[in-house]
Amino acid sequence: MSQTPPRLTLTGISKRYPSVVANDGVSLSVAPGEIHAILGENGAGKSTLMKIIYGAVKADAGEIRWNGQPVTIANPAQARKLGIGMVFQHFSLFETLTVVENIALALDAPFDPAALALRVREVSERYGLPLDPHRLVHSLSVGERQRVEIVRCLLQDPKLLILDEPTSVLTPQAVQKLFDTLRRLASEGVSIVYISHKLHEIQTLCDSATILRGGKVTGEAIPRDETPASLARMMIGRELPVCEAPPYSGPSRPVLEIRQLSQRSDDPFGTSLTDVSLTVNAGEIVGIAGISGNGQAELLAALSGEAPSGKTTVWLDGEAIGHLHPGRRRARGLAFVPEERLGRGAVPSQSLAHNALLTGHRHGGMRRFGLVSYARARQFAQDCIARFDVRCGGPLAAARSLSGGNLQKFIVGREIMLSPKAMIVAQPTWGVDVGAAAFLRQTLLDLSRSGVAILVISEELEELFEISDRIAVLAQGRLSAAVPKAEADAESVGLQMAGLFNAEASHASA
Amino acid sequence: MMDSMIPVLAGTLAAATPLIFAGLGELVAERSGVINLGVEGMILIGAIAGFAAAAETGLGPAAGLPAGALAGMGAALVFAVFALSLAANQAACGLALTIFGIGLSAFIGQHYVSYSLPGLKPLSIPLLSDIPVIGPVLFHQDAVVYLSLAAFALVAWVLAKTRLGLLLKAVGESPEAAHAIGYPVLAIRYGAVLFGGAMAGLGGAYLSTVYTPLWVQNMSAGRGWIAVALVVFAAWKPGRLLLGAYLFGAVTILQFHAQGLGIALPVQLLAALPYLATIVVLVLISRDRRLLQLNLPASLGKPYLP
């Protein structure tokens, strides 16, 4: 080791924010050509640590060594000059510019789009990341956008590549391709820092791992020598919780039906829905897989009533409700948990009691003589907090003071307490810690077994396979037929997510 | 018939010139994500500064035009400090600047009421100006008209072909992403706003020292607002902006001729015609909402502090 110093060494990195310690004495070291995992839950401090390495955030204390030399990285431009490239979780691309224009803006080279387009093509093909340099970014799929980010980094000839949760938006096939590319880069001597909370990915890809919890390093490991359980213990401090899905024995009848729904999107960057049909029966959970941007937002808006469609396109318990507005649909027993918790599921600045009123004023028993009873709203919120284990400062706490997981428990709980006939949930565990995610999944399973029809739209395939009875795929505004979970596998679902419906048909007939 | 059209067409170019300057400046500022509603104020500040400089030095437009541009830039700097560094509401700051500009120019202009300047002689380009019809229309104009066309060509080229143009568009779409890849968002926006101010000031100075070389209070007569509207209806594209400006110029000249011919319409109505015609035509050609949405700088009007 004395001849080749580690490419990157962090010693005692600390970063404090007013309300939270994001990093507390974090140390790690990455060798040339090593793929190093940073494993941790949401809020463990992974992203802050990476921003410190990339110069976007300044550490309060600690030392960074680059090839053995102490350095201070003041800004991203300096990080790039050292040879550090970063692929962001939320892409830093400009939608109205072309691929090559986006890349040109990040390079220091003289501005020559024509010559750059040739290099983009060459590099993207060499690493198995095919890209058309002249497409506008807003017309690209999420996976293609990620390629743009990676190619942009590669053109800067990086010595260290940081990827922040790169697979959260990819199909299983695209993940395999990405891993091939990363392995190839590592074999050429590029160090890779791979941030994730997905244990199996880290076990297949990474040479070593640093595990963070609550801003501190709680373990260092060779992932291949560990089991998912032992990694999970280091990551969350206990065993990974498992959900139980008992069989449903009650009467089965269609509750929520979508019939040949086609709807043009008003948003020029949106996706139009084409001939979407689906039935959700009492007592089952139907999962809709797919990468967001393939019509999810439009389908949710059509179902919730934010974008009403033709009368006979949506049916609830035998009644056509496609033309009704959200309030009328809720009054008929359709509950809805949107993807954005703050701003759509709850009003950030208002108390939980007031947020309970938002949807609970109809069935929640919060009205007396036609007027709102705040005492009853408080009681409702209190009951919800107790029943769904919401950790907060009580019914008068503002919604935005809750963590993502606890607010989601409150919102889901609020809807369940209104005894819906059908419930639509978008990204139920997005940005939620592992413990709360397991609780939420179990809650949804229990609710469905009580006879409620549940539709879950999620980007997390594993989650859908865990809780759904049947799975359909939404791609380019079209919905595949829902197949029982036992007949679906991650590979065929992944192909459908990429929009290859025919491949699925031939797969089924084979 | 053709002969009577020549003065109309020739006048159109000059009448459109202040709008071209102010519109191009606002277009650049809006591309970077900053909407400056102070264009009318900056034109007036440029107009009075240019007039005063021309009158006091005796150098005419040669002193007036640079002075107007500088004064417009100074006014834009005040706007930028509030709207960019202090992240105040851009619409409110712009309106305040317009009101301030109207008042300040009227106050300073008290000394110059009914004072007139020599103006600027048209420049005939040899040979080209002898071409029938096109010659007198295009090649027998004052130097500033040529300058406005050069400014148009420069802005169009920078926006379409250079890294700076891409960067402006990038900052206007997502200042967060531009910051993340390491660009100084505020500095770029300052540059765009100051350019906008200089161009508006130049347009104002052209009005007061060349186009009608005498001081009249509130002489911009709403051209700043038309410039702001032109930028939006032109979908932030310089070519469409140029067309809109010439349309305004043509109707302005035509209604003068109509007044001269004694058409039995109230003068006020005729004077309002250029504004009305420009807006109606622009609304009609920009009915495609998708076109506007695709070109709209996504961060327009939203303050950004890194």
Q: What is the pLDDT of residues B77-127, one digit of tens each?
A: 999 999 999 999 999 999 999 999 999 999 999 888 878 888 777 777 777
| Cβ–Cβ < 8 Å for A64, A219 | no
Which tens digit of pLDDT belongs to each residue from B141-167?
888 999 999 999 999 999 999 999 999
Q: Helix (H, G, I), strand (E, B), or coil: what is residue B237?
A: coil
The alpha carbon of residue B190 is apart from the nearest alpha carbon of chain A, in Å, by 19
Task: Look at chain B and count its residues.
Answer: 306
- Residue B188's nearest CA partner among B169, B162, B209 is B169
Residues of B in contact with A101 (CB under 8 A): 166
pLDDT at B135 over 90: no
Find the residue in A nearest to B163 (Cα): A111
Q: Does A384 share its domain with A454? A: no
Q: Give the alpha-carbon dihedral of A231, A232, A233, A236, to 10 degrees.
A: 130
A226 touches chain B (CB under 8 A): no
CB neighbours (10 Å) of residue B105? Answer: 27
Phi, psi of B145 (to 5 degrees): -60, -45
Nearest-CB residue to B180 (from A92, A267, A268) = A92
- What residues of chain A, 259 to 278, have a C-beta less than 8 Å from chain B? 267-268
Cα separations in angstroms, A151 against A93, A117, A146, A167, A184: 12, 12, 9, 16, 14
Hey, are the CB atoms on A106 and B181 less than 8 Å from each other? yes
Task: Name the residue with higher pLDDT: A500 or B227.
Answer: B227
Q: Does A301 share its domain with A449? A: yes
Cα separations in angstroms, A7 against A51, A67, A159, A219, A234: 17, 4, 8, 21, 26
Q: Percent of chain A at pLDDT above 90?
A: 42
Q: Is residue A2 part of a domain?
A: no
| Residue that terminates a domain, selected from A418, A449, A468 | A418
User: Where residue B279 falls among pLDDT bands split at 50, 70, 90?
Assistant: confident
Q: Where are chain B's structural domains?
A: 2-295
A372 touches chain B (CB under 8 A): no
CB neighbours (10 Å) of residue A320? Answer: 15
Q: Does A177 share its domain with A268? A: no
| Residue that terminates a domain, selected from A418, A437, A456 | A418
A342 Cα distance to chain centroid: 16
What per-residue confidence (pLDDT) applies to B124? 77
The alpha carbon of residue B182 is apart from the nearest alpha carbon of chain A, in Å, by 5
A247 touches chain B (CB under 8 A): no
The DSSP line for A53-98 is HTTSS--SEEEEEETTEEE---SHHHHHHHTEEEE-SS----TTSB
Residues of B in contact with A111 (CB under 8 A): 162-163
Q: Does A137 share its domain with A274? A: no
Rounded CA-CA distance A91/B121 in Å is 56
Q: Does A69 share its domain with A146? A: yes
| Cβ–Cβ < 8 Å for B305, B179 | no
Q: Does A314 share its domain with A363? A: no
What per-residue confidence (pLDDT) applies to A113? 85
Task: Look at chain A and count its residues.
Answer: 510
The partner residues of A10 in beta bridges, in order of sequence, read: A28, A64
| Cβ–Cβ < 8 Å for A429, A438 | no
Domain that holds residue A353: 346-418
Cβ-proximal residues to B255 (8 Å cutoff; 6+ apart), any chain: B270, B271, B273, B274
Residues of A in contact with B294 (CB under 8 A): 96, 268
| Structure-token pair, residue B100 | 């301030």
Q: Does A427 share its domain with A413? A: no
Find the residue in B nearest to A51 (Cα): B180
Cα separations in angstroms, A483 against A191, A292, A471, A474, A489: 42, 20, 5, 13, 10
Rounded CA-CA distance A241/A68 in Å is 42
Q: Is residue A252 part of a domain?
A: no
Among the listed ranges A115-124, B171-180, B222-231, B285-294, which one has the minimum average pLDDT value?
A: B285-294
- Residue B222's nearest CA partner among B8, B10, B13, B22 is B22
Q: Based on the structure, what is the number of domains in chain A?
A: 3
Q: Is residue A19 part of a domain?
A: yes
Residues of A in contact with B169 (CB under 8 A): 94, 96-97
A103 touches chain B (CB under 8 A): no
CB neighbours (10 Å) of residue B231? Answer: 28
Hey, are the CB atoms on B182 and A93 less than 8 Å from each other? no
Rounded CA-CA distance B304/B131 in Å is 52
A112 touches chain B (CB under 8 A): no
| Cβ–Cβ < 8 Å for B33, B299 | yes
Cβ-proximal residues to B127 (8 Å cutoff; 6+ apart), any chain: none
Nearest-CB residue to B290 (from A75, A95, A268) = A268
Q: Is residue A242 part of a domain?
A: no
What per-residue confidence (pLDDT) applies to A510? 34
Hey, are the CB atoms on A94 and B173 less than 8 Å from each other? yes
Q: Does A142 share its domain with A271? A: no
Q: Does A477 share its domain with A450? A: yes
The partner residues of A279 in beta bridges, in order of sequence, read: A257
Q: What is the mean pLDDT of chain B?
A: 89
**Which of B163, B176, B291 has the highest number of chain A CBs within 10 A, making it the mutation to test binding with A?**
B163
Q: Helix (H, G, I), strand (E, B), or coil: what is residue A351?
A: strand
The ipTM estimated for the assembled molecules is: 0.79
Residues of A in contact with B298 (CB under 8 A): 95-96
Q: Does A122 share its domain with A206? A: yes
Nearest-CB residue to B294 (from A101, A111, A268) = A268
Q: Does A377 share its domain with A444? A: no
- Residue A470's nearest CA partner among A134, A250, A140, A245 is A245
Angle, helices B143-161 vs B2-31, to 10°: value is 40
Low-confidence ranges of chain A (pLDDT < 70): 1-3, 89-91, 169, 500-510
CB neighbours (10 Å) of residue B149? Answer: 16
Residues of B in contact with A105 (CB under 8 A): 163, 166-167, 170, 178, 181, 183
What per-residue confidence (pLDDT) applies to B242? 94
The alpha carbon of residue A105 is apart from the nearest alpha carbon of chain B, in Å, by 7
**Which domain CATH number covers A289?**
3.40.50.300
| Residue that terminates a domain, selected from A418, A444, A460 | A418
Q: For the purposes of burial, counting CB atoms within 10 Å of the CB of A86, is it exposed (0-12), middle (13-18) or buried (19 or more)?
A: buried
Cβ-proximal residues to A250 (8 Å cutoff; 6+ apart), any chain: A282, A283, A449, A451
Instruction: Mark B52-75 as b/e (b = at least 16 C-beta within 10 Å).
Output: bbbbeeeebbebbbbbbbbbbbbb
A101 touches chain B (CB under 8 A): yes
Rounded CA-CA distance A258/A149 in Å is 37
Q: Helix (H, G, I), strand (E, B), or coil: what is residue A420?
A: coil
Residues of A in contact with B176 (CB under 8 A): 92
Cα separations in angstroms, A33 against A57, A190, A204, A497: 26, 5, 16, 32
Alpha helices, DSSP H only, in A417-453? 434-449
Residues of A in contact with B184 (CB under 8 A): none
Nearest-CB residue to B170 (from A56, A94, A267) = A94
A75 touches chain B (CB under 8 A): yes
Which tens digit of pLDDT belongs to each residue from A154-204?
888 899 999 988 877 677 788 888 899 899 999 999 999 998 878 888 899
User: Where does A327-382 show beta strands of DSSP type E?
Assistant: 334-337, 367-368, 371-372
Find the residue in A nearest to B183 (Cα): A77
In CATH, the architecture of B2-295 is Orthogonal Bundle (1.10)
The alpha carbon of residue A268 is apart from the nearest alpha carbon of chain B, in Å, by 6
Cα separations in angstroms, B268 against B18, B219, B253, B275: 21, 15, 15, 12
Cβ-proximal residues to A12 (8 Å cutoff; 6+ apart), any chain: A25, A26, A27, A61, A62, A63
Rounded CA-CA distance B258/B274 in Å is 12
Hey, are the CB atoms on B177 and A77 less than 8 Å from each other? no
Residues of A in contact with B300 (CB under 8 A): none
Would you list which residues of chain B are within 8 Å, Cβ to Cβ, of chain A?
162-163, 166-167, 169-170, 173-174, 176-178, 180-183, 290, 293-295, 298
Q: For the purposes of burial, counting CB atoms within 10 Å of the CB of B127, is it exposed (0-12), middle (13-18) or buried (19 or more)?
A: exposed
Q: Does A400 share its domain with A505? A: no
Cβ-proximal residues to A337 (8 Å cutoff; 6+ apart), any chain: A345, A408, A411, A412, A415, A423, A424, A425, A426, A428
Kindly state the DSSP code that residue A321 receives in the 8-state scheme: -
A74 touches chain B (CB under 8 A): no
| Structure-token pair, residue A163 | 């990827």
Rounded CA-CA distance A181/A163 in Å is 13
Residues of A in contact with B293 (CB under 8 A): 267-268
Nearest-CB residue to B166 (from A92, A105, A267) = A105
